[in-house]
Amino acid sequence: MTLIPAAGSGCSGPPTPPSRVDAERPANSEVEWDGFDPWAYVQHNYSVLREDDREILCRIRDFFGGASVSGAHCVDVGSGANLYPALSLLPFARSMELCEWSTANVGWLRTQIESYDACWDAYWQVCAEHPAYATLADPRHRLARVGRVSQLSVFDLPRHAWGAGTMFFVACSISGDRTESEHAIGRFLGALRPSSPFAAAFMLGSHGYRVGQHWFPAVALQRAEVLTSIAAGAYDVDLHEVRPTPSLRDGYLGMLLVTGRSRG
Ligand SMILES: C[S@@+](CC[C@H](N)C(=O)[O-])C[C@H]1O[C@@H](n2cnc3c(N)ncnc32)[C@H](O)[C@@H]1O
């Protein structure tokens, strides 16, 4: 495992890192997020639509398609180099904010929302199997029109700002510190107005992951821990576990999809 040194990171937090840094469990501010390679990440994770992502996408499509939401200010938190959470919100979005901290990922997102790459068409086709999505003829153009990319940390999200939201593989995968993971879930749910529908996905039991040449930390979350953090800020919560074969990312047990409504 190679951890990227904190020095020079574009991350928030104290200008001088804490003197005692646990190299195996770095805090979010100790990781060089600008070293995240979005192209390598897409190539490894999303260039071909996998069955596990198809299953997740079908579930969030059906969830948002039945959530009676329209003309909403939507948010995807920690978008990184994945557009399918944003696509799942698109028909219901008056505006779509993609919040991301890494400068490299912010740059990738800005080019993608102008006109996204062909590999995302397969994801949209899955969405378009649902009538609420099928009526949207030109999702590429719609995302360009309503999408906006903000370099904003999950820890700095404003409260009660959005009416629907997604956060995929973020709380589990931005820090080695368990309390930061809980905090990220709380900030995400608190950023939604009361009763807003949301979907969030988590790696379970992850010990970190490689993107290109760089290794990034994770918290080895268990299902019960995620549920406890979510239940503090949500109701009508539904959990669904996906155990992919073969496994995709390094050292993890499976993926957990959570849908529900924010308490506010
Ligand atoms: C494992 S990736 C998940 C990316 C994407 N959401 C997906 O579904 O594949 C974690 C993402 O969180 C971003 N990130 C790291 N620290 C963050 C922070 N404090 N606030 C928001 N995003 C952050 C990383 O740059 C990266 O894009």
- pLDDT at res. 244: 73
Distance CA 206, CA 172 (A): 8
Q: Which residue among 49, 174, 211 is best mutated to probe the pocket of ligand 1, counting the most ligand atoms within 8 A of its Cβ?
A: 174
Q: Which residues, 6 or more positions from 125, have their beta carbon under 8 angstroms from its beta carbon?
A: none
Closest C-alpha to ligand 1, atom 16: 174
Residues 222 and 207: beta-carbon distance below 8 Å:
no
120 in contact with ligand 1, CB cutoff 6 A? no
**How does pLDDT run across 211-224, given as a tens digit for each residue?**
999 999 999 999 99
- Residues 115-139 have a mean pLDDT of 98
The rounded Å distance from CA 9 to ligand 1 centre is 15
Beta bridge partner(s), residue 97? 75, 148
Question: Which pair of structure tokens corresponds to residue 154?
Answer: 């999950």
The rounded Å distance from CA 170 to ligand 1 centre is 5
Among 9-13, 76-80, 138-142, whose mean pLDDT is lowest? 9-13
- Atom of ligand 1 minimally distant from the CA of 201: 8
**How does pLDDT run across 168-206, given as a tens digit for each residue?**
999 999 999 999 999 999 999 999 999 999 999 999 999
Closest C-alpha to ligand 1, atom 18: 153
What's the chain's average pLDDT?
90
Instruction: Could you list the beta-strand ranges (E) of the chain.
Output: 72-77, 93-100, 147-151, 164-168, 197-204, 209-211, 214-216, 234-242, 254-262
Q: Which residue among 45, 49, 101, 206 is best mutated to probe the pocket of ligand 1, counting the most ligand atoms within 8 A of its Cβ?
A: 101
- Residues 153-166 have a mean pLDDT of 98
- Residues 22-46 have a mean pLDDT of 93
116 in contact with ligand 1, CB cutoff 6 A? no
Q: Which of 224, 164, 219 is nearest to 189 (CA)?
A: 164
pLDDT band per the 50, 70, 90 thresholds, residue 17: very low
Question: Which pair of structure tokens corresponds to residue 2?
Answer: 């190679």
Distance CA 129, CA 178 (A): 38
pLDDT band per the 50, 70, 90 thresholds, residue 261: very high
28-262 domain in CATH 3.40.50.150? yes
The rounded Å distance from CA 228 to ligand 1 centre is 22
pLDDT band per the 50, 70, 90 thresholds, residue 11: very low
Domain ranges of the chain: 28-262
- Residues 140-166 have a mean pLDDT of 98
- pLDDT at res. 251: 58
Distance CA 154, CA 200 (A): 13
168 in contact with ligand 1, CB cutoff 6 A? yes
**How does pLDDT run across 78-124, given as a tens digit for each residue?**
999 999 999 999 999 999 999 999 999 999 999 999 999 999 999 99
- Residues 136-148 have a mean pLDDT of 98
Q: Which of 189, 168, 213, 10 is nearest to 101 (CA)?
A: 10
Residues 26 and 178: beta-carbon distance below 8 Å:
no
155 in contact with ligand 1, CB cutoff 6 A? yes
Q: Tell whether the model's pLDDT for residue 53 goes beyond 90.
A: yes
The rounded Å distance from CA 101 to ligand 1 centre is 7
139 in contact with ligand 1, CB cutoff 6 A? no
Q: Tell whether the model's pLDDT for residue 129 goes beyond 50.
A: yes
pLDDT band per the 50, 70, 90 thresholds, residue 73: very high
